[in-house]
Amino acid sequence: MNDTKETDRKVDLRTRLIDAAEAEIAEKGLAGLKARDVTQRAGCALGALYNAVADLDELVLRVNSRTLARLGAALAPASEARTPEAVTLGLADAYAVFALTNRRLWSALFEHRLPEGVAMPDWHRQEHEVLITRIGAPLSALRPDLPADVLRLRVRTLFGAVHGVVHLALQGRLVGLPEASLRHEIAALVTALVIGARQAGGGMVGGEGLEPPTFSV
């Protein structure tokens, strides 16, 4: 019984700490995350953090795990579209919308670096696959001619293209897009890519099979 209560208290403490870290990152960004601020928000002593997680890096991984789950849920409806072209367009738009509406938490997915020599845990590496796996199905339909290893590379290239445009826009870089134009330009980019993929795969050429994207959040 005592062991059960102790486990429950630890789970409750970890949840409060993750909640607090998530709120801190959402407000201040990853660079502003401080262990003392997290524990104060969670209502516990500074030392209690290390009873619940190994260190602040693990806490960030736990927050990023939540963010990835939410991103996966946000991408899911796009997979229900009727054509692989429409699925790909929908995924790209949903990704941009998620980044725009969760920018600091989204940025933390890519800003966080573990100390040198520390490997990312397998469970978290697998969670990151949500960014890749959903693209694989529509792209394989567009390019059934590609061997599996080449398809995996092409999926990462497609993701990298969309992610790069979103990242530059949200960072406010000189070469980045204005945020007001981001979704339209993402749609234009992905439309060109999927038309090219369909043509290279021996399917229809031009805009056939594409559903006009919508941009209401």
Q: Which amino acid is at 16?
A: R
Pick out the chain residues at pLDDT < 70. 1-3, 5-6, 202-217
Phi, psi (5° rounding) for residue 90?
Answer: -65, -40
The yes or no reply on domain 1-53 and CATH 3.40.640.10 is no
Give the closest residue to 131 by CA, choosing from 151, 101, 111, 109.
Answer: 109
May I ask the CATH architecture of the domain 60-217? Orthogonal Bundle (1.10)
Give the closest residue to 77 by CA, choosing from 97, 92, 89, 91.
Answer: 91
Whole-Å CA distances, 114 to 38, 141, 150:
19, 36, 29
Give the pLDDT confidence score for residue 202 in this predicted structure.
67
Give the pLDDT confidence score for residue 132 in this predicted structure.
85
Predicted model pTM: 0.88
Give the pLDDT confidence score for residue 3 in this predicted structure.
61
Give the closest residue to 134 by CA, choosing from 165, 98, 104, 102.
Answer: 98
Alpha-carbon distance of 156 to 135, in angstroms, equals 9
- Helical ranges in the chain per DSSP H: 2-28, 35-42, 49-52, 56-75, 84-101, 103-111, 122-128, 130-142, 148-171, 179-200
Whole-Å CA distances, 100 to 68, 96, 104, 108, 146:
15, 6, 9, 13, 33
Task: Domain ranges for the chain, please list them.
Answer: 1-53, 60-217
CB 12 within 8 A of CB 43: no
Token reading at 128: 């990151």
Give the pLDDT confidence score for residue 203 in this predicted structure.
55
Give the pLDDT confidence score for residue 66 in this predicted structure.
97
Token reading at 64: 């990023």
User: Mind listing the pLDDT tens digit for each residue in 41-65?
Assistant: 999 999 999 999 999 999 999 999 9
Q: How far apart are the first and last CA of the chain?
A: 49
